[in-house]
Structure 1
C-alpha cells in the first residue's frame, strides 16, 4: 500500500506495521517537537496515538456528526 501524503517521505515505503511503530513525527505535518509533547501524554508511537482513548472518542464523535447532516 502507498502511504504518500499520510507520512513523511522517509516512511512512504514502509509497511503499516512499521509505521505504527514509528514516532508520531513520521506522520506528515508533525515534528520531533510534537513527539516530545505527545510523550508527556504517554504516546510514543503512531500506534499509541491511534489507540489513545481520546483520539478514538474524537473520531467516533466526528463519524456520528456526519449522520446529523
Structure 2
C-alpha cells in the first residue's frame, strides 16, 4: 500500500486529523482546493466530502485511463 505525506495534500488544519475525519471533511480540506471550488464541485457533481470526491466516477475513470497509459 502506498503511503502519502498528509502535510503535502491537506490544509494545515486537517493534517493531524484521523483518516475517518479527513474522509468526512469538506473537499476544501485538500491543499489547493478553496471553499468556492468545493461549492462548484457540489453544484456540478454533488461532491461535498473528500470521500465523495474519491468515489466520483469521473475521477475513477481518469485514474484508470492514466494507469492504462502507464502500463504501455
The answer to whether TM tops 0.5 is: yes
Rounded Cα–Cα distance in structure 2 between residues aligned with 1:51 and 1:5: 21
Q: Which has the higher helix share?
A: 2
Q: 1:47-58, aligned counterparts within 5 Å?
A: 47-58=51-62
Give the RMSD, CA atoms, in angstroms: 1.3
Instruction: Give the ranges of 4+ consecutive aligned residues of structure 1 lying more than 2 Å apart after TM superposition.
Output: none
| Distance 1:13-1:2 versus aligned 2 partners, 3 A rule | farther
Give the structure 2 partner of residue 18 of structure 1.
Answer: 21
Give the structure 2 partner of residue 66 of structure 1.
Answer: 70
TM-score (norm 1): 0.92
Query: Aligned-pair distance for 1:15?
Result: 1.1
Matched length: 68
TM-score (norm 2): 0.88
Segments of structure 1 that go 5 or more residues without pairing to the other structure are none
